[in-house]
Structure 1
Amino acid sequence: MMNLLQTIPVLCLGAILAVLSPKACAAFNVQKVASLTKAQASSDLPVVKSAGLSPDMDVPWSKAVRIVDPFEGEFLGVFDRNSLGGYLYREGSTQVLSLWTPSSIRVLVTLNSGQAMSSFYTAGRVYPRPDFIRFVTTKKVDKLLLKVGEKVFKLDGSTGAFPVSQELATALKNAPDKNLNIRLILEGGQTVDSEIGKETVKAWRSIY
């Protein structure tokens, strides 16, 4: 009986606060609706079945996607690609691939090279061969520097993955609609300067 008597004032107080504080209740409802809307929007996004980065991958670039990876589970992300040195598959060109997720940034740097060959000889016969054979070499990224507004974020990672802090996530979400400069420091000290396109920057708002 005593527990019941103690509970009644609490319930009455909650009812009074609800009447006196409609703004608090309204804010709660807005947050709830926003969460439901975001969840519904994520279910409508294109689905990518792997979070892995590779030179010849075919994904929606610079758009928010829903990644369903058999090893890592399901999460949101944005893929970005930038080619340095001219045409994407030109000999000597460098390609910077990245995947931006709420928890991490993954980066892969590839170098395109090739060799001209018109034929090859085996078993006593000469066979025709494509005029140009393309080779792709990947480079390990040790450090990632991003300049968002006037602030430079310096990230250390392993195997090309860099954790995203709450401060960085907020900065990426509020980044201006323009290309964003990044600097990659490769294993061995080589530096590669690249850009993240403004369409990718806009897509960050859907995941951060």
Structure 2
Amino acid sequence: MMNLPQTIPVLLLGTSLAVLSPQVCAAFTVQEVASLAQALSDLPVVKSAGLSPDMDVPWSKPVRIVDPFEGEFLGVFDRNSLGGYLYREDSKQVISLWTLSSIRVLVTVNLDQARSSFYTAGRVYPRPDYRRFVTTKKVDKLLLKVRQKVFQLDGSTGTFAVSQELATALKNAPDKNLDIRLVLEGGQTVDSEIGKETVKAWRNIY
């Protein structure tokens, strides 16, 4: 059998990068370690765990997040638009990041749209211009319904801890959209859903 290197860095199922000891490595064949390392290295890389309305990431797919402040870990980003195009008046967008240890949620609301006019053929024509008048809302509670069980999570700044029970439920969730309810600061609720492709991607995280 080939001698294993003294340490082999690998991602451990959605946690931060860890270094396996020689004793742990000995439990795997060289081929298994190489296969795992290759699978992890093939994942798309996202360079920040921060959430924003205009972020451009692979949605509903497992990714490696390499954050300068939080380190490396696995995650799945999800996005759902409510009320049409993001910058349409009164539209909402729910963005979330699902990791082994936490769920992060950002709710944005487009409060208004700018209006302008243009002049042609001797006439003035009003027109709506969709501008980025988007505000974020603080999420105090997150409710998820997985099969017949409702999980109610309390958090701060839109971040919610994932228990072992919830992680197991998410991993075994059926291949369909999953309903969530967000309770915003002040008591307003926003009902949304997580797409089934994100639900499938959770199996690579939990």
In the superposition, the TM-score normalised over structure 1's length comes to 0.76
Match of 2:139 among 132, 138, 141: 141
For 2:113, the equivalent position in structure 1 comes to: 114
1:34-68 residue CA offsets vs partner (Å, 9 max, x unmatched): 97344432221000000000000000000000000
Between 57-66 and 131-140, the greater mean CA deviation after superposition:
131-140
SS in 2 for 1:199: helix
Residues 80 and 192 in structure 2, CA contact (< 8 A), matched pair in contact too? yes
Residues 118 and 131 in structure 1, CA contact (< 8 A), matched pair in contact too? no
SS in 2 for 1:175: coil
Q: Post-superposition shift, 1:147?
A: 0.4
Residues 147 and 181 in structure 1, CA contact (< 8 A), matched pair in contact too? yes
For 2:150, the equivalent position in structure 1 comes to: 152
- Judged with a 3 Å threshold, the aligned counterparts in structure 2 of structure 1 residues 136 and 35 are, in CA distance, closer, same or farther, namely farther
Match of 1:187 among 152, 175, 185: 185
- Count of residues paired in the alignment: 170
Q: Post-superposition shift, 1:118?
A: 4.3
Please give the alpha-carbon distance, in whole angstroms, between the structure 2 residues aligned to 1:182 and 1:67: 24
For 1:62, the equivalent position in structure 2 comes to: 60
**Mapping 1:1-208, distance limit 5 Å:** 32=28, 36=33, 37-112=35-110, 113-118=112-117, 131-208=129-206
Instruction: Please tell me whether Structure 1 or Structure 2 has the larger radius of gyration of its CA atoms.
Output: 1
Q: Which has a greater percent of helix?
A: 1
Residues 117 and 133 in structure 1, CA contact (< 8 A), matched pair in contact too? no
Please give the alpha-carbon distance, in whole angstroms, between the structure 2 residues aligned to 1:169 and 1:133: 39
For 2:15, the equivalent position in structure 1 comes to: none
Please give the alpha-carbon distance, in whole angstroms, between the structure 1 residues aligned to 2:36 and 2:163: 21
Between 185-194 and 80-89, the greater mean CA deviation after superposition:
80-89
Q: Post-superposition shift, 1:87?
A: 2.6
Structure 1 residue ranges, 4+ long, deviating more than 3 angstroms after superposition: 31-40
Task: Report percent identity of matched pairs.
Answer: 81
**Aligned-residue RMSD, C-alpha:** 2.2
SS in 2 for 1:184: strand
- Amino acid in the other structure paired with 1:189: G
Residues 42 and 76 in structure 1, CA contact (< 8 A), matched pair in contact too? no
